[in-house]
Each structure stands twice: as C-alpha cells, then as structure tokens.
Amino acid sequence: MAHPLQLGFQDAMSPIMEELLHFHDHTLMIVFMISAMVLYIIMLMMTTKLTYTNTMNAQEVEMIWTILPAIVLITIALPSLRVLYLMDEINNPHLTIKAIGHQWYWTYEYTDYDNLEFDSYMIPTQDLPNGYFRLLEVDHRMMMPMESPIRMLISAEDVLHSWAVPSLGVKTDAVPGRLNQTTFIVTRPGVFYGQCSEICGANHSFMPIVVESLPLQHFENWSTMSS
Amino acid sequence: MLSLPALCVGTLARRGILGTASMRAAHGHSGHVATQEDMSVPRYYDKRSFPLPDVPFHAQLGTEQKALKEKEKGSWKQLSNEEKVALYRLKFNQTFAEINRPSNEWKTVLGGIFIFFSFTGLIVWWQRVYVFPPKPRSLTDEWKAQQVKRMLDMRMNPIQGFSAKWDYDKNEWKK
C-alpha cells in the first residue's frame, strides 16, 4: 500500500509493473527537460531588452521546433508500445481466478479444480483492529500462488466497477455482461492493496481489493482448507 | 443577503473607486482620455515595438518652433542642448525611458492576491471549526504507530519504498 504523503509509485511486485516504472522514469525525465526549457524561455521572454515584435520569417527555427518534438514523441512512443505489447504476451496461466464486482463488494471464484467461491467485504472502521489499514482491509483476501502466471477474468453483476491493484500494475474494468481478461505474475510473497476504480454508487470508495500471494504449497493448503 | 453587498458596491462604483480607470490612474497610467480619433489618417503613438511613428507629435508648429526646424536643416553642431531636447519633444511625446518606466502596479496586484489568500484562510479555518466532522480513530498517534509497525512487519514496498528505509537488523530507521 502507499504510505502517507507518498509521491511516487508503489514498489513493483510483478514484471509488468517494473516495466511501467522504468517507462515512467524515462517519460518523466523527458517531461522535466521540456518543462525546464519552457520555464527558461518564459523567463527570457519576460526579461528581454529587445523590443521588435514584427518578425515575419523564421524558417530555420520553425524546422527545429517541428522536427525536435517529432523526435521526442518517437522517443516516448517506442518504449510505450513495447510495454503495451509485453502486456499482451501469451503466458500460459497456471490458474484462472474470476473477480466479480457487486455493489459494494467483490466475489472471487476459483473454479479450476474445486468450486471455491467467497465474498470479500471491506472491514468497517468501527470493527477494525488497532493498527490496521482504514478503508483497505477486507474480511477475505484473494489468495494466489506467487511466481505463477495467473489469469484473472473480471466482470460485474450490477454496475461498472474496476479491479485495480497498483503494485501489480493491474487495472481492469468490470463490465456487467462482459468478461475482461488480464494476466500477471506476482514475483514476491506479500499482501497488496487496491481499491475499486470505477464509480459505482454510494460505497464506491469502500470496496477495496486485497491480494495475498503465497508460495504454491501454502496456497494449495489454503485452497484445500477453504473448499 | 445578496442585496447588501450589491448596494455597497454600487455606491463605491459610482464614486469611481473600484473602476479600472481610477486603479490605473493611481499607478501613473492616467491622462488617457478617450476622444474620437480619426483612424483613417496616420497618427502618432508611443510604442516600444514601433520606435519611429508615422507622424511627429506636434504637427502644427508655432513661429518659434518653425524657426527651430529651419535651424535644424543646417549643421547640428550649432544646436544647443536645450534646442536638441526641444526638437526631440516636438517629434516625440515620451522618451524610451519614459515609455518603459516601471510602475508600482505589482504591489497592488500582490497585495490583492494576499488579501484573497487571507480571506480564504479565514473561511477554511471557520470550516475546520464548525463544519468538519470528528477525525477517524485511525489518525491518532497511537494507531499510526501501530500501523507503521504493521507495515514494516508486512514488508510493504521493501525495494525502494517504505520498508527499504528500515534497518531490520538494528530495529531502527536507516540513517
């Protein structure tokens, strides 16, 4: 989860999120350079002693400020497309989990082997044990095995929702009557928090997502115990 | 409720205190009375970007001024300093230094900005006292300390983020 006053992204817990972090660093660097240059030019414009304002021809500078932005855009587009296509790689998932959005909770279904299905409601603040994360904790976390490609099928029962976990680099809309697929691999064990990301009514802010990733053996133990 | 401030603004506006003309006059931009200019003939103007206007400032010259213009046709070395200045003032209204003179307008602008900031600050303060509900119980220092401990125990953001700054061997924040 994020800590208070956090400015940057959470640490990456999946390879795609790592790629996104690097891409963001690359693009933000370009953005900072452009902003610094624009600020410098504004400052120059405001402090000049020159007074002539009727320039008619500026062919050389026009060439420069057409070609240079085109190069900048290509420099941003190429890594962007690379990450985009990486996200769509075929990765042969080991497990399929369905996440169904309701007003205002999530249902997780593990139907590959046994019929495991449970609801995940937010723990209200008044029932929260001391030191727990307000508006983020749920009664039943979505468990999953680490270091395995997982396929998520996201849908909704009533209105639009969105299943998002920032540290995994996942955000997929839950559309009623539609199955949206996303795949990811969690590289580390741990607990990862997210929140519903599509306005869905009064308690839209109060249906968080908590993913807990475990080594495969522990996941199988949990799965057997739960179903 | 709306009528009271509207009344005050009305009286003040009639006195011209709030008008832009009086604001500009207070900063030395006054003296620009709008008259009906004939825009179809070349006219004089003081502009930074057009240093040489189409017509001189004083188009109609008196006798002395005409004599001075005749003297100008000869060698300029015979012109005294005052004559040169007088010739300049015939041709131009303001010198470049006068056109580009700074004003104190920025102080008014900044002052106005600060007044609005403080007024907004008062409103925000009033809201905090009379409107905001009580804070959630997770914002007490005790809860926040337990929360930090839980985040460290769960190894939140262990690579570069939160838990990366905690020294787990020495049980303290990294220096």
Nearest CB to A134; choose among B49, B136, B154:
B136
The answer for residues whose C-beta is within 8 angstroms of residue B159's C-beta and 6 or more apart is A11, A12
Length of chain A: 227
pLDDT digits (tens, 9 = 90+) for A160-210: 999 999 999 999 999 999 999 999 999 999 999 999 999 999 999 999 999
Nearest CB to B49; choose among A54, A128, A132:
A54
Q: What is the dihedral of CA A143, A148, A151, A157, to 10 degrees?
A: 0
Superfamily of domain covering A95-226 = Cupredoxins -  blue copper proteins (2.60.40.420)
Reply yes or no on domain A15-88 having CATH 1.10.287.90: yes
B159 touches chain A (CB under 8 A): yes
Measured CA to CA, the distance from residue A82 to residue A76 in angstroms comes to 10
pLDDT digits (tens, 9 = 90+) for A87-144: 999 889 999 999 999 999 999 999 998 899 999 999 999 999 999 999 999 999 999 9
Measured CA to CA, the distance from residue A186 to residue B4 in angstroms comes to 64
pLDDT at B49: 86
Measured CA to CA, the distance from residue B38 to residue B45 in angstroms comes to 13
B133 touches chain A (CB under 8 A): no
pLDDT digits (tens, 9 = 90+) for B29-70: 666 667 787 889 998 999 988 888 999 999 888 898 999 999
Measured CA to CA, the distance from residue B94 to residue A40 in angstroms comes to 32
- The stretch A138-165 carries a mean pLDDT of 96
ipTM score for this prediction: 0.88
pLDDT digits (tens, 9 = 90+) for A42-76: 999 999 888 888 888 999 999 999 999 999 999 99
Terminal Cα distance for chain A, rounded: 29
Chain centroid to CA A85: 16
Instruction: Find out whether the peptide bond into A222 is cis, omega within 30 degrees of 0.
Output: no
List of chain A residues whose C-beta atoms are within 8 Å of the C-beta of residue B145: 131
Q: What are the domain boundaries of chain A?
A: 15-88, 95-226
Disruptive mutation site among B138, B139, B163 for chain A (greatest number of A CBs within 10 Å): B138
pLDDT at A198: 97
Domains A15-88 and A95-226 share a fold: no
- Report residue B133 as tokens: 């509900």
Q: How confident is the model at residue B16 (pLDDT cuts 50, 70, 90)?
A: low
Q: What are the domain boundaries of chain B?
A: 4-40, 43-101, 104-132, 137-173
Measured CA to CA, the distance from residue A70 to residue A62 in angstroms comes to 13
Query: CATH code for B43-101?
Result: 1.10.442.10
pLDDT digits (tens, 9 = 90+) for A5-34: 999 999 999 999 999 999 999 999 999 999
Three-state SS at A19: helix
pLDDT at B2: 47
pLDDT at A20: 97
Measured CA to CA, the distance from residue A154 to residue A144 in angstroms comes to 15
pLDDT digits (tens, 9 = 90+) for B141-151: 999 999 999 99
User: CA angle, corner B66, sides to B60 and B67, nearest 5?
Assistant: 165
pLDDT at A114: 84
Nearest CB to A190; choose among B136, B145, B155:
B155
The answer to whether the CB atoms of A54 and B143 lie below 8 A apart is no
Disruptive mutation site among A130, A165, A212 for chain B (greatest number of B CBs within 10 Å): A130
